[in-house]
């Protein structure tokens, strides 16, 4: 019961007016995004809107990051578009349900902590790439469809009207907080532009020109697919990618909101909530979704910090769909375009441009690669994965070069090799080059006080080194092994033959009681 109550207790006083007004603003901005993403996926606009409602509501109530907004996203749309075209919408619903199961399993196994492996340059690249995508996606609003159905750039009066309304929206969002923060500046901007367009009867593109958003409550629908192994073979690859992309985008957005708000979210809880949301939306005609960085930034920039804003956003979106579609369809796209451009400007990590020439070249490379993949491939999961891999390889290479050995012979004629730096697959070759097997005395001690044995490659290197010394009639011993190194060698004692010296004066080494437990396999 205590754990359940903690879901709703963020130990922060709730500003109800800010939360409600911010939620209404976010709901308004969610509509064109959800419609656009569903069209990208080749689905009905309502599938995106239903997903935005279901996913947004469930994650706001049960998620691990109060103030973060989830809904239908472009990352998910890009994944499912092929499945929608080749097998139909029912298979999409089934894949989303399965993706939800995989995400819930991820949360139950508490794997959310692996987001810590994402380096800061990858985060910079991810955020900057996403900001560029948000900005570039708004450029489509400056195009119009001709009589032949082909899109072309606006010109003349329509272009000047669109630019004027967009700039007005941006100026209100930028200037109003300097005078008052009583109401979200983004909501005021939308209302002012809406009033100007309606009052002066200005001819400009509105939400209704994109698609109709009128609908009812999300209908319950069990995906109509054959319950066969063949169906599983079809949907599982898509479900796995949807689950992975959704979790990566959600957990990275969670980290970003953490930095902005100066508070801490719960990755495992968010993972489970995302899974619960996708599992549910698959049964309520939704296309699936995950965290939305743009709407989350709108929400946090409005001052919302609690779960209430997300709940209000989801509920108001459904209210708009069921009862207010006629009004919302009249909202000028210029207002929403200006809002999203301001989001893009606020999302971009401008500080990252100042570190060029100051950060290591490898970090700059990682940041640039992640940004480019995000922008040109629109594959956030791939961008982050490649960024992490490059960072890991650079880290391994740098640490491989750091292994050193200080050598000396004591008064008893025993040669000591004091190792500095980690011994792992990358440093094995350099480690082997430190030893002079032929010319060394009969007794050799390798001191690991300033080093660590980290993997199987290191163990095998020690095993082969021991064999080399044994082959010429010499004895080699290991000294000052830490607890984890000793355990690693203990686990491999069936396949290696290495002598380990005990040193009671070494504080990190095992005591006799602990060693006895390890020897007994306890």
pLDDT, tens digit, 9 for 90 and up, residues 139-164: 888 888 776 667 788 889 999 999 99
pLDDT, tens digit, 9 for 90 and up, residues 190-245: 899 999 999 999 999 888 887 788 899 999 999 999 999 999 999 999 999 899 88
Question: Are 111 and 211 in a shared domain?
Answer: yes
Question: Are 293 and 425 in a shared domain?
Answer: no
Q: How large a percentage of the chain has pLDDT more than 70?
A: 91
Question: Are 41 and 187 in a shared domain?
Answer: yes
**pLDDT, average across residues 278-306:** 92
Q: State how many domains the chain has.
A: 2
Going by C-alpha positions, the residue among 236, 165, 171, 166 that lies closest to residue 198 is 165
**pLDDT, average across residues 500-516:** 50
Question: Are 187 and 297 in a shared domain?
Answer: yes
Question: Are 82 and 206 in a shared domain?
Answer: yes
Res 4: pLDDT: 41
Domain of residue 433: give its range: 404-519
pLDDT, tens digit, 9 for 90 and up, residues 51-108: 999 999 999 999 999 999 999 987 788 788 889 999 999 999 999 999 999 999 999 9
pLDDT, tens digit, 9 for 90 and up, residues 52-63: 999 999 999 999
Question: Are 439 and 299 in a shared domain?
Answer: no
Structure-token pair, residue 295: 């709407």
Question: Are 373 and 413 in a shared domain?
Answer: no
Is position 396 within any domain? no
Confirm if 40 and 81 have CB atoms less than 8 A apart.
yes
pLDDT, tens digit, 9 for 90 and up, residues 355-377: 777 788 888 999 999 999 888 87
Question: Are 266 and 377 in a shared domain?
Answer: yes
Least confident stretch, 133-142, 236-245, 296-305 = 133-142
Give yes or no for residue 379 having a pLDDT over 90: no
**pLDDT, average across residues 302-326:** 93
Question: Are 220 and 302 in a shared domain?
Answer: yes
Give yes or no for residue 504 having a pLDDT over 80: no
What does the chain come to in residues?
522
Question: Are 346 and 439 in a shared domain?
Answer: no
Q: What is the 8-class DSSP label of residue 193?
A: H
Is position 357 within any domain? no
Rounded distance, CA 437 to CA 439, Å?
Answer: 6
- Mean pLDDT of all residues in the chain? 85
pLDDT, tens digit, 9 for 90 and up, residues 384-442: 889 989 998 998 888 888 889 999 999 999 999 999 988 998 999 999 999 999 999 99
At 77, phi and psi to the nearest 5?
-60, -45
**What's the pTM value of the predicted model, to 2 decimals?**
0.72
Give yes or no for residue 509 having a pLDDT over 70: no
Res 238: pLDDT: 92
Confirm if 450 and 405 have CB atoms less than 8 A apart.
no
Res 517: pLDDT: 47
Rounded distance, CA 82 to CA 464, Å?
Answer: 52
Res 327: pLDDT: 86
pLDDT, tens digit, 9 for 90 and up, residues 431-481: 999 999 999 999 999 998 888 888 888 888 888 888 899 899 998 888 887
Is position 514 within any domain? yes
**Domain CATH for 489:** 3.30.750.24
Q: Torsion-angle region of residue 140: left (phi > 0), alpha (psi -120 to 50) or beta?
A: alpha
């Amino acid at each position: 019961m205590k754990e359940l109550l903690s879901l709703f207790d963020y130990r922060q006083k709730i500003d109800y007016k800010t939360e409600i007004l911010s939620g209404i603003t976010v709901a308004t901005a969610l509509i064109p995004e959800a419609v656009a993403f569903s069209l990208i996926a080749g689905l009905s606009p309502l599938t995106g809107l239903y997903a935005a409602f279901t996913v947004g509501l469930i994650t706001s109530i049960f998620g691990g990051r109060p103030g973060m907004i989830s809904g239908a996203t472009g990352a998910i749309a890009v994944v499912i578009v092929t499945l929608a075209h080749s097998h139909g919408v029912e298979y999409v619903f089934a894949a989303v349900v399965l993706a939800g199961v995989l995400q819930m399993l991820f949360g139950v196994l508490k794997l959310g902590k692996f987001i810590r492996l994402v380096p800061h340059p990858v985060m910079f690249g991810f955020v900057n790439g996403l900001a560029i995508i948000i900005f570039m996606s708004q450029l489509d609003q400056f195009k119009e469809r001709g009589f032949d159905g082909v899109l072309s750039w606006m010109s003349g009066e329509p272009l000047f009207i669109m630019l004027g309304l967009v700039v007005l929206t941006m100026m209100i969002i930028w200037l109003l907080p300097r005078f008052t923060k009583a109401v979200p500046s983004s909501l005021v901007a939308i209302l002012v532009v809406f009033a100007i367009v309606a009052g002066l009867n200005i001819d400009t593109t509105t939400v209704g020109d994109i698609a109709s958003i009128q609908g009812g409550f999300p209908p319950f629908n069990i995906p109509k697919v054959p319950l066969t192994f063949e169906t599983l073979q079809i949907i599982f690859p898509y479900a796995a990618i949807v689950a992975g992309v959704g979790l990566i985008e959600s957990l990275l957005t969670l980290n970003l909101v953490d930095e902005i708000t100066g508070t801490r979210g719960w990755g495992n809880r968010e993972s489970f909530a995302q899974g619960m949301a996708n599992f549910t939306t698959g049964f309520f005609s939704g296309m699936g979704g995950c965290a939305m960085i743009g709407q989350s930034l709108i929400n946090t920039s409005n001052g919302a910090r609690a779960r209430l804003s997300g709940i209000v956003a989801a509920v108001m979106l459904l209210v708009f769909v069921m009862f207010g579609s006629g009004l919302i369809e009249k909202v000028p796209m210029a207002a929403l375009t200006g809002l999203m451009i301001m989001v893009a400007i606020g999302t971009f990590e401008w500080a990252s441009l100042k570190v060029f020439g100051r950060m290591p070249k490898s970090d700059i490379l990682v940041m640039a690669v992640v940004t480019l993949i995000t922008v040109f491939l629109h594959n956030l999961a791939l961008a982050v994965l490649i960024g992490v891999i490059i960072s890991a390889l650079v880290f391994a290479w740098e640490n491989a070069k750091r292994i050193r050995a200080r050598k000396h012979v004591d008064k008893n004629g025993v040669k000591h090799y004091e190792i500095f730096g980690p011994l792992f697959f990358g440093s094995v070759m350099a480690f082997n080059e430190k030893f002079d097997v032929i010319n060394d005395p009969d007794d050799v001690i390798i001191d690991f006080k300033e080093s660590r044995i980290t993997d199987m490659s290191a163990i095998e290197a020690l095993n082969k080194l021991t064999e080399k010394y044994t082959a010429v009639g010499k004895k080699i011993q290991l000294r000052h092994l830490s607890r984890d190194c000793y355990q690693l060698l203990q686990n491999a004692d069936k396949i290696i033959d290495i002598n380990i010296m005990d040193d009671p004066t070494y504080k990190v080494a095992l005591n006799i009681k602990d060693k006895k437990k390890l020897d007994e396999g306890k």
